[in-house]
Amino acid sequence: MTKQIVITAFTIGAMILGTNHVQAQNTTATTTVNITLNDVISIDAGSTAIGNTVDFNYVTAADYNSDQTITKANSLKVTSTKNFNVKVKAGGANFMNGTNLIPVNVLTIKAATAAGTMGGTKSAVVLSATDQTLVSNAPLGSALTLNLDYTIPAAKSSSSDILGKPAGTYTQTVTYTATAL
């Protein structure tokens, strides 16, 4: 009988101790994160070439006999996921004031001395109605700036291209295009 009591006590003790034994559970989870990229090229808001004007004023004889340069900071602000070119062209062959015309080739556009953060090879462009490369192979980047100089040289302002034209404001649009390579 003592043997039965010991076995029963041992069995009850094993059941009590066994029910208090809790095993650890696995609590991990795995999630997949996707990043989807698209190629982007944009002339960004904040570019002064968007909706802005460049005004040349010829008031005195000295104005006609000297180079006039107007610098526009942040003329272009470009974001591109690839290297790119920037081209420029006039909306027509002439600056116009009614029927009075001044050829667009009186104007030269080039990167300013402090050109901004846009890299690449920069060229001075004598404006025409045909696309011309202003910046070639600019490296990709975000909000890259290009400061531009607009110049009418004295050789043009003191020539028949401008001299002898009726007084007034002559206007033409200039279009910049950024193209990924």
What average pLDDT score do residues 50-75 get? 95
What are the structure tokens assigned to 151, written together?
Answer: 């110049």
Q: 89-103: buried (b, 16+ CB within 10 Å) or exposed (e) per residue?
A: bbeeebbbeeeebbb
Q: What is the overall mean pLDDT for the chain?
A: 90
Q: What is the pLDDT of residue 28?
A: 87
Report the C-alpha gap between 20 and 11 in whole angstroms. Answer: 15
Most distant CA pair in the chain, distance: 136
What average pLDDT score do residues 120-143 get? 97
Model confidence pTM above 0.85 = no
Report the C-alpha gap between 180 and 92 in whole angstroms. Answer: 25
Judge whether residue 14 has pLDDT over 80. no
For residue 13, the surrounding DSSP H or E stretch is helix 2-19
What average pLDDT score do residues 69-91 get? 97
Judge whether residue 162 has pLDDT over 90. yes
Q: What is the pLDDT of residue 106?
A: 98
Q: What is the pLDDT of residue 1?
A: 53
The pLDDT confidence band at residue 6, using thresholds 50, 70 and 90, is: very low
The pLDDT confidence band at residue 19, using thresholds 50, 70 and 90, is: low
What are the structure tokens assigned to 76, written together?
Answer: 């272009």
Share above pLDDT 90 across residues of the chain, in percent, rounded to a whole number = 82
Q: What is the pLDDT of residue 76?
A: 97
Q: Say if CB 124 and CB 110 are below 8 A apart.
A: yes
